[in-house]
Amino acid sequence: MPHHVKGVIARAEGEPVELTTVVVPDPGPGEVVVNVATCGVCHTDLHYREGGINDEFPFLLGHEAAGTIESVGSDVTSVAPGDFVVLNWRAVCGECRACRRGRPQFCFATHNATQRMTLTDGTELTPALGIGAFTEKTLVAAGQATKVDPAADPGAVGLLGCGVMAGIGAAMHTGNVQPGDSVAVFGCGGVGCAAITGAKLAGATRIIAVDLDARKLERAVEFGATHTVDASRVDAVEAVQAATNGFGADVCIEAVGNPAVLQQAFYARDLAGTVVQVGVPTPDMAMPDIPMIDFFGRGGALKPSWYGDCLPSRDFPMITELYLQGRLDLDAFVSERIGLGDIETAFARMQRGEVLRSVVVI
């Protein structure tokens, strides 16, 4: 029997979101239904509402979620009813050319549930990032549900589903930060603070936080930044060099999504250093105009980071364990806990830069 549950949809471009009834079908082969416990509010949800991702309205918003498996499709063996899971938006296929070569973190054919959730009149919903979790129950592909230790607080570990994992992975996986490295993080929102956390875990000695907002820099220090740069007042490149004996950082992480910031990250890097691009550009943005001789002459690497190059089955349980051991503070990303009816207020607070993450408790 399909379930009728409460969920938050964006019906049309730029219009406030609506709390309405969503119909969740029983899981088919390869699918699971999840009782959602919590779901973080991410900038991407707002991008969907504003038509910035695509125009497949109505969207079922929400994608940074944790919950328990309610039911599974006939052939599903990876999870069972009652399992505590964090949802991910890159369920690997196991068969594409990346997966076949042992690089499933780059899977080129990630997938979502086959069936669609609908409104009561049958209108098909497009789930945000193939998840859709501002709802009491959601339907996802089995590979999108990753089992983690049920002792963890869902509100905290659910954030691994998107920005926090992207930031930690940008430092640990894409940037391959090593003990003793210096790391500069440009943009200290949720993703940037997670990158700072990842750099600290990996053993970076100098962690330089760069932002335009003094409040963000204060918080970055709480996450482990050793130096701060207010780029609204000083030249960011010179300041990062000054904090690294004049040389620049080994790893520079762009966590804004802005070509001017990418250019700063490029020049704030030591010779043979790495630039990680984890901020997502809009389609109108172009690469900064950098002389090719500078690209060659500085060596190193420029690396985009999809979801922090994470592999959910490897990384979600590992980070959950570090969190439960008290070695990684995921609670610090949770600024407030709210209800399903509070999404618009949370969007406004996010736009004013007041929160790292508002987490909906269902």
Ligand X SMILES: NC(=O)c1ccc[n+]([C@@H]2O[C@H](COP(=O)([O-])OP(=O)(O)OC[C@H]3O[C@@H](n4cnc5c(N)ncnc54)[C@H](O)[C@@H]3O)[C@@H](O)[C@H]2O)c1
Interface residue list for Zn ion (CB under 5 A):
42, 44, 93, 96, 99, 107, 109, 162
- Interface pattern 195-234 for ligand X (x via CB under 6 A): ---------------xxxx--x--------------x---
User: Closest approach of Cβ 2 to ligand X, in Å?
Assistant: 31
Residue 48 vs 267, nearer CB to Zn ion: 48
Under the binding rule (CB under 6 A), the answer on residue 107 touching ligand X is no
Under the binding rule (CB under 6 A), the answer on residue 28 touching ligand X is no
CB under 8 Å to 210, separation ≥6 — which residues?
184, 185, 186, 187, 188, 228, 229, 231, 236, 239, 240, 264
Classified as helix, coil or strand, 301 is strand
CB 328: neighbour CB atoms within 10 A?
22
Residue 27 vs 163, nearer CB to ligand X: 163
In the block, residue with structure tokens 């549950």: 5
Under the binding rule (CB under 6 A), the answer on residue 332 touching ligand X is no
In 3D space, the residue among 43, 13, 134, 48 whose CA is nearest the CA of residue 352 turns out to be 43
User: Closest approach of Cβ 93 to Zn ion, in Å?
Assistant: 4
Residue 33 vs 220, nearer CB to ligand X: 220
Q: Distance (Å, rounded) from C-alpha 158 to C-alpha 67?
A: 8
User: Closest approach of Cβ 231 to ligand X, in Å?
Assistant: 5
Bond prior to 58 in cis (omega within 30° of 0): yes
Q: How far is CA 130 from the centre of its chain?
A: 14
Residue 163 vs 175, nearer CB to Zn ion: 163
Q: Distance (Å, rounded) from C-alpha 10 to C-alpha 46?
A: 9
Strand pairing report for 18-24 and 3-10: antiparallel
In the list ligand X, Zn ion, none, the entry touching 323 (Cβ below 5 to 8 angstroms by class) is none
* DSSP line for 7-54: EEEE-STTPPPEEEEEEEPPP-TTEEEEEEEEEE--HHHHHHHTTSS-
In the list ligand X, Zn ion, none, the entry touching 93 (Cβ below 5 to 8 angstroms by class) is Zn ion
Under the binding rule (CB under 6 A), the answer on residue 263 touching ligand X is no
Q: Distance (Å, rounded) from C-alpha 88 to C-alpha 85?
A: 9
Q: Which stretch, 140-148, 159-167, 321-329, 331-339, contacts ligand X (CB under 6 A)?
A: 159-167
Under the binding rule (CB under 6 A), the answer on residue 273 touching ligand X is no
User: Closest approach of Cβ 254 to ligand X, in Å?
Assistant: 9
Q: Distance (Å, rounded) from C-alpha 328 to C-alpha 112?
A: 30
Under the binding rule (CB under 6 A), the answer on residue 278 touching ligand X is yes
The residue from 132, 158, 279, 312 that contacts ligand X (CB under 6 A) is 279
User: Closest approach of Cβ 258 to ligand X, in Å?
Assistant: 5
Strand order, beta sheet including 118-119:
118-119, 18-24, 3-10, 59-60, 126-127
Backbone torsion region of residue 21, taken as left when φ is above 0, otherwise alpha when ψ lies between -120 and 50, otherwise beta: beta
Residue nearest to ligand X (CB): 189
Residue 132 vs 187, nearer CB to ligand X: 187
In the list ligand X, Zn ion, none, the entry touching 99 (Cβ below 5 to 8 angstroms by class) is Zn ion
CB 304: neighbour CB atoms within 10 A?
15
In the list ligand X, Zn ion, none, the entry touching 169 (Cβ below 5 to 8 angstroms by class) is none
In 3D space, the residue among 7, 167, 159 whose CA is nearest the CA of residue 87 turns out to be 159
Under the binding rule (CB under 6 A), the answer on residue 185 touching ligand X is no
Under the binding rule (CB under 6 A), the answer on residue 53 touching ligand X is no
User: Closest approach of Cβ 106 to ligand X, in Å?
Assistant: 13
Give the residues lining the site for ligand X (CB under 6 A): 43-44, 162-163, 166, 186-192, 210-213, 216, 231, 255-258, 261, 278-280, 305-307
